[in-house]
Structure 1
Amino acid sequence: MATTPFQLRRDSFGKLVLTTSEGEDIAGVAPVRSFPIQSPDKGISMVREGGKEVAWIDDLADLPEQVRALITDELQGREFMPEISRIKDVSSFATPCTWYVDTDRGATEFVLKVDEDIRRIGDASLLIADSHGIHFLVRDMYRIDKHSRKILDRFL
């Protein structure tokens, strides 16, 4: 059975409250991923207001189910980064241009202002910022379909 040196619960206002092994309650804590793209379930810091770390989690899988669920729910509520599964079309190969994509959150379109808004993250991942500052993730550009890869190659 997984154990943790702290307990976690929500208060009546919906904020996370971390109880340390010494019994101290710290209200309003938030999970922050250290490596949100490459290792999203490893290296999570629990921070209090002001950004001071109060607990460290090596791996979410090592936590009890109840604590893991609270942290996962909190992260999903704070993070919005749709993952592109397919690039259907682009309006032009010159920027600015409109991209028509399928994501894990449904079909959408966005405007890519400049080529520099596509950043490499590691060997295979890409982070694409649209004209409104929303970041889209391509987790592995080598595993995306051939048509999508061909479009990406024109911009990289």
Structure 2
Amino acid sequence: MIPTTTAATPLAAIALRRNSFGRLIFIGADGVESENVIPVRAFPIGAPDHGISIVSSDGHELAWIERLEQVSAEVRGLIEEELASREFMPEILRIVGVSTYATPSDWTVETSRGITTFTLKGEEDIRRLPQSALLIADSHSIQFLVRDQKALDKHSRKILDRFL
């Protein structure tokens, strides 16, 4: 069983603020401040709001948050803001087309952040995830998420089938 916090930091005592440079500062229950802390999701795709660790700049866990809803709205806002600035994973909504069915190939896709084109180096850059999700890495290592390949339109599924 995963603990809800580290031994020294109960959830109610979790406090975060930003310094003058915009970096996060964690204030422990004992009042000790740790600068440049980073929130890290344990399961960024499968359970993004569950299992978040607050980690010091040297990699030590300062606090464990089982569910994001357990912390105050202010702390939750800072964590979500920090995660959004660090995580960039557009979700593919539709595959418009591919340049060729051999790799490398250029893919034009409609994502949650607009239409874009990327290069798929090889079929091994498409990873299957639980519940028919896929993670596709482009030639620059940018990760694109297909949350549910069965929910894509017929044309998109047909293209995907050629690469899977």
Same fold (TM over 0.5): yes
Per the TM alignment, residue 146 of structure 1 is displaced from its structure 2 partner at its CA by: 1.7
Question: Which of the residues 140, 154, 158 maps onto 1:146?
Answer: 154
Question: Does structure 1 residue 98 correspond to structure 2 residue 106?
Answer: yes
Deviations 1:15-49 (A, max 9, x none): 11111112111111100111111111110110001
Q: TM-score, normalised by structure 2?
A: 0.90
Question: Which of the residues 65, 72, 79 maps onto 1:71?
Answer: 79
Q: What is the aligned-residue RMSD (CA, Å)?
A: 1.1
Aligned residue pairs total: 154
Question: Does structure 1 residue 5 correspond to structure 2 residue 13?
Answer: yes
- Partner of 2:160, secondary structure, is helix
Q: Is the 8 A contact 2:14 2:71 kept in 1?
A: no
Deviations 1:101-156 (A, max 9, x none): 01111100001111111011123111101111111111111112221111111111
- Partner of 1:14, secondary structure, is coil
Aligned residue number for residue 50 of structure 1: 58
Aligned residue number for residue 89 of structure 2: 81
Give, in whole Å, the separation in 2 of the partners of 1:39 and 1:56. 15
Per the TM alignment, residue 5 of structure 1 is displaced from its structure 2 partner at its CA by: 2.4
User: Kindly, what percent of the aligned residue pairs are identical?
Assistant: 56
Per the TM alignment, residue 64 of structure 1 is displaced from its structure 2 partner at its CA by: 1.4
- The 5 Å alignment of 1:116-155 reads 116-155=124-163
